[in-house]
Amino acid sequence: MPVFEYKGFDDKGSAVKGLREADSPKSLRTQLRKDGIYLTEAFVENDKRRGGKIKSALDRDVDVSRFIPERISIQDVAVATRQLATLTNAGIPLVEALTALVDQVENRSLKRIYSTVKQKVNEGISLADALAEHRKVFSNLFINMVRAGESSGALDVVLFRLADFTEGQSRLRSKILGTMVYPIIMVIVGLGILAILFAVVIPRITLIFKNANAQLPIPTRILIFSSEIVSNYWWLLLALILAGVFLGRRYLKTPSGRMRFDQLSLRAPIFGPIVRMLAIARFSRTLATLLSSGVPLLTALDIVKNIVTNVVLGKAIDDVREAVREGASIADPLRRSKQFPPIVVHMVAIGERSGALEPMLLKIAESYEQQTEMRVGMLTTLLEPLMILLMGGGVGFVVMSILMPILQLNQFVGR
């Protein structure tokens, strides 16, 4: 059933628009009339030629938003997944649950995707295969867990776990990003103020010192030289920065560059432990979620390897997968990789021996997520006074560089 985007007027004469499923434009008009909406224009969302359009002289404006796809966030997927889990848990057939979900989802892009998924499922394709056609939205983890849920007959349970997992990842990311917003804003504002000082204010002030033909102190000469470079060659500096960013991104796309960067990120004095803890938390929670949903261990390790973005840790997980394929346990290759802390290795080994690997992995994930939040909070607390000191030091250097020749001129005049 196609999804129509429509425009019209309600009983009070207010303009309304939205998305709705219907067999045809005529069926859409009938549905909207029952809701008190008078249709003026409608077209199939996926038809670029605007098939089925109903023209009206009352509506000639161009809606630019229909040509701009709405971004699908992790939270949008999590909310839709929980709604689908609730519907299937209530005993509603999958096709009817997807129909209700299409009506409920507010995100336009996600609504179109679930409408397509519903059509595929209605044609006899499994839900996992239908979702697999939209890998930009649904990850391998998502698809494999749904496939495992369909095979085991516990799709609603798997969907609830997926919703919990996705919401947890979204909350952790939001906390970290929210904590780092203030320091980033301070850095941007500080750099902007210094750029204005060096490009506009300082050249006008130092012009007085140049005309005095006096021997200027070294800090003042450094300040004048820096100001001339910024004000006269700002375009060259901007070009060098852009070129550096471009070449850096090209280098990071190469296997050797990516490996080198990830190695350095893990060894960094302050940020390295945070990067490692984040990766371990994601590894533990993802593996626990997959195993508890019935995904085979080798498949789960292959999925986790692709989810952990650090290639150094990804290689270690791939070595674990190969060792498990040959009959080894998980803990031994984790220990040999030397990329996972001893406490993680011990907890995994205990979980394997006791048959409670999934709960143990969840405990590891919760512990490292809490440590990550605490470390990021402490780092932010330390960054604020550090940035204030750096900005104050920069401003102090500018002030002293300007005051020192003024004091020298006053002493010369006083003599």
Highest average pLDDT, of 55-69, 89-103, 191-205, 240-254, comes from 240-254
User: Are 261 and 358 in the same domain?
Assistant: yes
User: Are 33 and 10 in the same domain?
Assistant: yes
- Asked if residue 370 has pLDDT above 50, the reply is yes
| Crossing angle for the helix pair 311-325 and 297-307, to the nearest 10 degrees | 170
Expressed as residue numbers, the domain containing 25 is: 3-67
- Asked if residue 72 has pLDDT above 90, the reply is no
At 213 the pLDDT is 66
3 Cβ partners below 8 Å, 6+ apart? Answer: 19, 20, 21, 44, 45, 46, 102, 111, 112, 115
The whole-chain average pLDDT of the chain stands at: 79
Q: How confident is the model at residue 243 (pLDDT cuts 50, 70, 90)?
A: very high
**How many domains is the chain partitioned into structurally?**
3
Q: What is the mean pLDDT of residues 8-12?
A: 69
256 Cβ partners below 8 Å, 6+ apart? Answer: none
pTM greater than 0.85: no
Q: Domain boundary at 42, 67, 92, which?
A: 67
User: Are 56 and 119 in the same domain?
Assistant: no
Q: Domain boundary at 21, 41, 67, which?
A: 67
CATH code (residue 282):
1.20.81.30
At 60 the pLDDT is 42
295 Cβ partners below 8 Å, 6+ apart? Answer: 144, 145, 148, 303
User: Are 102 and 121 in the same domain?
Assistant: yes
User: Are 234 and 117 in the same domain?
Assistant: no
> Looking at 30-44, 72-86, 292-306, which range is the least confident one?
30-44
Identify the residue with better confidence: 14 or 120. Answer: 120
Please state, in angstroms and rounded to a whole number, the distance separating the CA atoms of residues 357 and 301: 14
User: Are 207 and 304 in the same domain?
Assistant: yes
- Asked if residue 125 has pLDDT above 60, the reply is yes
- Give the three-class secondary structure for 15: strand
Q: Domain boundary at 103, 134, 167, which?
A: 167
Please state, in angstroms and rounded to a whole number, the distance separating the CA atoms of residues 51 and 153: 40
User: Are 286 and 406 in the same domain?
Assistant: yes
- Asked if residue 410 has pLDDT above 70, the reply is no
At 148 the pLDDT is 77
- Asked if residue 3 has pLDDT above 70, the reply is no
Q: How confident is the model at residue 247 (pLDDT cuts 50, 70, 90)?
A: very high
Highest average pLDDT, of 40-54, 143-157, 328-342, comes from 328-342
User: Are 191 and 155 in the same domain?
Assistant: no
User: Are 158 and 202 in the same domain?
Assistant: no
User: Are 36 and 178 in the same domain?
Assistant: no
240 phi, psi to nearest 5 deg: -65, -40
Please state, in angstroms and rounded to a whole number, the distance separating the CA atoms of residues 374 and 15: 49
User: Are 12 and 61 in the same domain?
Assistant: yes
User: Are 80 and 39 in the same domain?
Assistant: no
Q: What is the mean pLDDT of residues 174-192?
A: 77
pLDDT digits (tens, 9 = 90+) for 146-174: 887 787 777 888 888 888 878 877 777 77
